[in-house]
């Protein structure tokens, strides 16, 4: 064989070898991805089964006649943050809710309206038949009483709830590798065990779970309304981190982080249907905080809601769920930001 022909044959042989190697690597990568996806789905299904907890003894919502299907309907979700620590439980069967965020999701435009509800808001609680702080609804009757109170407050259905304790919150943020959040001031704050071990620093910070929780809970230097805005910001930061490409490999850790520390009445299939809102990145989120004023006329602190503004927020939520015609709009909400939300009155707070 001539030297020239030999070189040509060797070059061709090397070319096919490279192609074979690339094919094998591609196939191997495909197998790994499929196996990872199958493992992840199995893990997620198990976690969803563990977290699934329908609201017991709760009659069908008087606001919604038929059960919704998230794949085709506009729906609402109530997020309940609770402190289940022994220090706060004090022997009660149900702890108070430490954070309440109510979201409506519109399927057509993939948008979200997110309302934070100050824990000291003076509202009617159907479970006991009188007005009190909304944080007490959960202590009076758990998830069911809280849902009934929210439906009465906004005259909209609560289609689903997600209840998470402090441990789950910390672990989820850590599993995502932390979040970026704007800290309003320097402060030493309590950790999840009510010990002053967390040092918050003013400015844009990368926060782990413990620091994110401390930022979500602190209110000594401003107001409960401002705390609600921070909780909105933190929830959006978690959503932003969760939908980022770099977080895909962390989903398994996030699923494990939820563990026994989250409860919801969503099935696994219903959870998966919400992934549509994350296609194309972070969905549009408009945020609102309920206006009001400090009231100590009874010797107990309450946040008395501005009824006019409450009616406006109610209209926005009903329109977003397409329960009423779009006859008005509210301009106080901000898309993906809480920077220019309405200033709230400051005051001292009692539990």
Handedness of CA 259, 262, 264, 266 (dihedral sign): negative
312, 290, 311, 294: which is closest to 303 by C-alpha? Answer: 294
The average pLDDT across 335-346 equals 35
CA distance 107 to 244: 21
Instruction: Check pLDDT > 60 for residue 339.
Output: no
Provide the percentage of residues in the chain whose pLDDT is more than 90.
39
Most confident of 95-99, 190-194, 244-248, 286-290: 286-290
pLDDT in tens, 61-120: 667 777 888 888 999 999 998 876 655 555 546 788 888 999 999 999 889 999 999 999
Is the overall model pTM greater than 0.85, yes or no? no
Lowest mean pLDDT among 185-194, 255-264, 291-300: 255-264
Dump the DSSP string for 53-68. Answer: -PPTT-PPPSS-SS--
CA distance 328 to 322: 13
Q: How far is CA 164 from the centre of its chain?
A: 9
**Domains of the chain and CATH, by start:** 52-335 (3.40.630.190)
Provide the percentage of residues in the chain whose pLDDT is more than 70.
74
Relative to beta strand 334-335, strand 130-133 is unpaired
> What does the pLDDT read at residue 240?
84
pLDDT in tens, 38-76: 656 777 788 888 888 998 766 666 677 778 888 889 999
Structure tokens at 19: 């192609």
pLDDT in tens, 297-335: 999 999 999 999 999 999 999 999 998 755 444 544 444
Compute the mean pLDDT over every residue in the chain, rounded to the nearest whole number.
80
Pairwise pLDDT comparison (168 vs 90), residue with the higher score: 168
> What does the pLDDT read at residue 17?
63
* Residue 265 · residue 54 · CB < 8 Å: yes
> What does the pLDDT read at residue 312?
97
pLDDT in tens, 225-257: 888 889 889 988 888 888 775 666 677 777 777
Instruction: Check pLDDT > 80 for residue 343.
Output: no
């Amino acid at each position: 064989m001539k030297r020239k022909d030999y070189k040509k044959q060797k070059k061709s042989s090397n070319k096919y070898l490279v192609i074979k190697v690339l094919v094998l690597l591609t196939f191997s990568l495909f197998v790994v991805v499929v196996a990872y996806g199958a493992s992840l789905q199995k893990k997620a299904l198990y976690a969803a089964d563990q977290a699934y907890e329908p609201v017991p003894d709760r009659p069908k919502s008087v606001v919604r006649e038929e059960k919704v299907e998230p794949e085709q309907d506009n729906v609402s979700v109530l997020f309940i943050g609770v402190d289940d620590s022994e220090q706060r439980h004090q022997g009660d069967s149900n702890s108070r809710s430490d954070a309440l965020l109510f979201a409506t999701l519109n399927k057509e435009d993939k948008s979200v309206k997110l309302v934070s509800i100050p824990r000291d808001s003076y509202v009617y609680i159907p479970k006991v038949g009188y007005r009190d702080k909304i944080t007490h609804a959960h202590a009076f009757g758990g998830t069911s009483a809280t849902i009934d109170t929210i439906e009465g407050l906004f005259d909209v259905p609560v289609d689903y709830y997600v209840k998470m304790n402090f441990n789950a919150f910390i672990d989820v943020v850590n599993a995502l590798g932390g979040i970026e959040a704007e800290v309003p001031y320097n402060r030493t704050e309590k950790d999840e065990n009510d010990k002053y071990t967390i040092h918050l620093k003013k400015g844009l910070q990368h926060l782990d779970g413990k620091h994110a929780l401390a930022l979500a809970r602190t209110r000594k230097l401003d107001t409960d309304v401002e705390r609600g805005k921070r909780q909105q910001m933190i929830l959006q930061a978690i959503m932003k981190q969760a939908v980022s490409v770099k977080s895909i490999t962390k989903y398994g850790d996030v699923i494990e982080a939820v563990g026994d520390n989250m409860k919801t009445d969503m099935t696994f299939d219903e959870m998966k249907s919400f992934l549509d809102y994350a296609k194309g990145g972070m969905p549009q989120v408009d945020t609102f905080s309920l206006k009001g004023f400090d009231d100590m006329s009874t010797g107990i602190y309450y946040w008395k809601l501005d009824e006019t503004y409450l009616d406006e927020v109610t209209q926005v939520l009903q329109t977003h769920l397409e329960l009423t015609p779009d006859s008005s709009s509210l301009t106080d909400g901000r898309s993906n930001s809480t920077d220019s939300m309405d200033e709230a009155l400051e005051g001292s707070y009692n539990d």
